[in-house]
Amino acid sequence: MLGGGNPAVIPKIMNIFREELQALIDHENINQHLGYYSSPQGDAPFIDALVNFLNERYPWNLSGKNIALTNGSQQSFFYLFNLFAGKMPDGKQKKILFPLSPEYIGYMDLGLSDDMFASCKPDIKYLGKQQFKYHINFNELTIDDHIAAICVSRPTNPTGNVIANEELQKLEKLSQQNNIPLIIDNAYGLPFPGAIYTNAELHWHDNIILGMSLSKLGLPGVRTGIVIAHENIINAISQLNGITCLAPNNIGAGILTRLLHDRRIIDLRENIIRPFYQQKMQRALALAQTTFKDLPVYIHKPEGAFFLWLWCKDLSITSKALYKKLKARKVFVIPGEDFFIDIDPSWQHQYQCLRLNYALSENQLERGINIIAEEIRKHLKE
């Protein structure tokens, strides 16, 4: 199983979450916590703790009015995309622009109306040692008045890319010049979970909407997303929560509040979570480089998240067909096609990529990569 986006279950982290859950249960306020809806904006003690935690680290000057919780960041993006894009009262069709394709597959079906997304082919830079990196092609990026917002995941699912600081600054500038928000999906990034292995700066100001999540910390089951934005947007998110679910889940917030208060979350990130994923990334990369060394397979430089993105050049079949062949041999990966949302179907690159999740068993990863190499070898162009 090298498909899916599940994070690893890291025993040390799970023990800490279980202790925090137990402390929540034992607390005198547990009846209040379980027995009442939180406000539609989300659990207030958690939001306060997060505001203090973030203001201590970043010069953002946040207040409680800048943060809302959702039932997972998937829901945050559903709200945000449909708030900004789709059919407008004046009949105009507005779109969300993904400036760097391939992008997170989970965005693809979030639009309540058709034709809600636009995206841009990347520049591909070869890096040596069978690696490459996608960059934003700013020459091709057109922002006209159909574009309602720009959105990037950073680190990026599926590629493990981390858009460079300079690229992000250019996007910030473009969004400000065009008076549209820049949505940064920070599900894997800093300050937590910290599955990021480059020196990426994190910015926020009134024109940026930052999405975060507790999932990749190891808590996908508690369904907790975080939106950090201008208070008008937070008001809209709160109202959407009120309409769709009355109030977001408060269990994840309850588990995390003390870890934010006493800053232990930083210790967990630095000493457990990041080293865990970084080591897995290094082993996965070394394994892929060795196994594919005599094949025309290139690996996207893994800078964050927990995915290897393979570009299998010279395949005689599409990556979807390759995926089926792998599935028949019980190796589950995700074919690349679907991550290229709204990209010209004649661009062959999109049919040559696979995404592998390396967060899970290393043994399975090794067996899987060997089978992938065998299948690629069988299906190379003459």
Q: How many CA atoms lie within 13 A of 101 on its CB side?
A: 24
| Using rule CB under 6 A, residue 308 touches ligand PLP | no
DSSP label at 270? Answer: I
Which listed range, 45-53, 69-77, 140-148, 284-292, lies at the site for ligand PLP (CB under 6 A)?
69-77
- Give backbone dihedrals phi and psi of 374, rounded to 5 degrees, phi first: -60, -45
Strand partners, 95: 147
Q: Are 208 and 184 in contact (CB under 8 A)?
A: yes
Q: Which of 66, 175, 213, 238 binds ligand PLP (CB under 6 A)?
A: 213
| Using rule CB under 6 A, residue 192 touches ligand PLP | no
| Using rule CB under 6 A, residue 72 touches ligand PLP | yes
| Using rule CB under 6 A, residue 225 touches ligand PLP | yes
Cis link prior to 155 (omega < 30° from 0)? yes
Give the nearest distance from C-beta 213 to ligand PLP in angstroms: 3
Which listed range, 68-76, 164-172, 322-330, 359-367, lies at the site for ligand PLP (CB under 6 A)?
68-76
Cα(168)–Cα(184) distance, integer angstroms? 9
Give the nearest distance from C-beta 285 to ligand PLP in angstroms: 20
| Using rule CB under 6 A, residue 245 touches ligand PLP | no
Select 304 or 315, whichever has its Cβ closest to ligand PLP: 304
Cα(296)–Cα(380) distance, integer angstroms? 9
Q: Which of 66, 101, 157, 249 binds ligand PLP (CB under 6 A)?
A: 157
Give the nearest distance from C-beta 250 to ligand PLP in angstroms: 16
| Using rule CB under 6 A, residue 153 touches ligand PLP | yes
Q: Which of 5, 181, 302, 368 binds ligand PLP (CB under 6 A)?
A: 5
Pairing of strands 353-357, 307-312: antiparallel
Q: Annotate 9-69 with DSSP letters as a single string.
A: --HHHHHHHHHHHHHHHHSTTHHHHHHS---TT--HHHHHHHHHHHHHHSTT---GGGEEE
Give the nearest distance from C-beta 319 to ligand PLP in angstroms: 19
Q: Which of 215, 238, 250, 257 binds ligand PLP (CB under 6 A)?
A: 215
Which listed range, 42-50, 213-221, 330-338, 351-359, lies at the site for ligand PLP (CB under 6 A)?
213-221
Q: Annotate 115-155 with DSSP letters as a single string.
A: S-EEE-PPEEEEEETTEEEEE--TTT----TTEEEEEEESS
Cα(376)–Cα(331) distance, integer angstroms? 13
Q: The tokens 């096609």 sit on which residue?
A: 337
| Using rule CB under 6 A, residue 303 touches ligand PLP | no
| Using rule CB under 6 A, residue 104 touches ligand PLP | yes
Cα(186)–Cα(226) distance, integer angstroms? 10
Q: Which of 20, 45, 65, 106 binds ligand PLP (CB under 6 A)?
A: 106
| Using rule CB under 6 A, residue 220 touches ligand PLP | yes
DSSP label at 316? Answer: S
| Using rule CB under 6 A, residue 73 touches ligand PLP | yes
Read off the tokens for 264: 């232990």
Select 353 or 373, whichever has its Cβ closest to ligand PLP: 353
Ramachandran region, residue 166 (left: φ > 0; alpha: ψ -120 to 50; beta: rest): alpha
Cis link prior to 193 (omega < 30° from 0)? yes
The number of residues that bind ligand PLP (CB under 6 A) is 14
Q: Which of 47, 183, 187, 285 binds ligand PLP (CB under 6 A)?
A: 187
Q: Which of 38, 74, 119, 352 binds ligand PLP (CB under 6 A)?
A: 74
Give the nearest distance from C-beta 72 to ligand PLP in angstroms: 3
Which listed range, 67-75, 253-261, 312-320, 325-333, lies at the site for ligand PLP (CB under 6 A)?
67-75
Q: Which residues bind ligand PLP (CB under 6 A)?
A: 5, 72-74, 104, 106, 153, 157, 185, 187, 213, 215, 220, 225
